Amino acid sequence: MQIRKLWPVLVLVVPALWPPVPLIHPARAAPVAADPQGDAALGRAFRDRTSNIQVEGQGEVTRILPDDQDGSRHQRFLLRLRSGQSLLVVHNIDLAPRVASLRERDGVQFHGEYVWNEKGGVIHWTHRDPAGRHEAGWLKHKDRIYQ
């Protein structure tokens, strides 16, 4: 008998206290940021001329550059962050697979080491360290991780 009296209250109160479940159609879902603070951290590193720090972020490919063939081979491309900062990504393709389907205007998430330069900076170490002494990095393109 007590439950019957409380039922209308429970029907109204419990949904209000329960966390809402987002109902987003997959085709309209916003891209998930690799690190919402990535742009700010990279902006500070550029402003302060900081190098050799692990960073994570995402950007849009603005230009595909020729591979660097000197020493270890590196795939190279430019990314533009939402903040407008440009980054040169140098991805070691002797240690990690090439991002073969990469095109201008594609989104790329990254985790690697930032090195300052006057043009915005460089991201490298986007792969595993075979010696195990350096933190592993990665690139993510079209839901595939390249490491």
CATH number of domain containing 40? 2.40.50.200
CB atoms within 10 A of CB 114: 24
Distance, in Å, from the CA atom of 114 to the CA atom of 120, rounded to the nearest integer, reads 10
Tokens 């490298």 locate to 124
| The token pair that represents 114 in the structure block | 């930032």
Q: 36-45, 46-55, 83-92: lowest mean pLDDT where?
A: 36-45
Nearest residue to 81 via CA among 100, 56, 99:
56
Mean of all residue pLDDT scores within the chain: 82
Greater confidence (92 vs 26) lies with 92
In-domain check, residue 39: yes
Distance, in Å, from the CA atom of 135 to the CA atom of 147, rounded to the nearest integer, reads 12
The count of structural domains within the chain is 1
Domain membership of residue 116 as a residue range:
34-146
| The token pair that represents 43 in the structure block | 């902006």
Q: How many residues does the chain have?
A: 147
Q: What one-character DSSP code corresponds to residue 27?
A: G
Residues in CB range of 94: below 8 A, 6 or more apart? 72, 73
| The token pair that represents 118 in the structure block | 């006057």
Mean pLDDT of all residues in 54-77 = 97
Question: How high is the pLDDT of residue 38?
Answer: 80
In-domain check, residue 74: yes
In-domain check, residue 25: no
CB atoms within 10 A of CB 33: 14
**pLDDT above 50 for 64:** yes
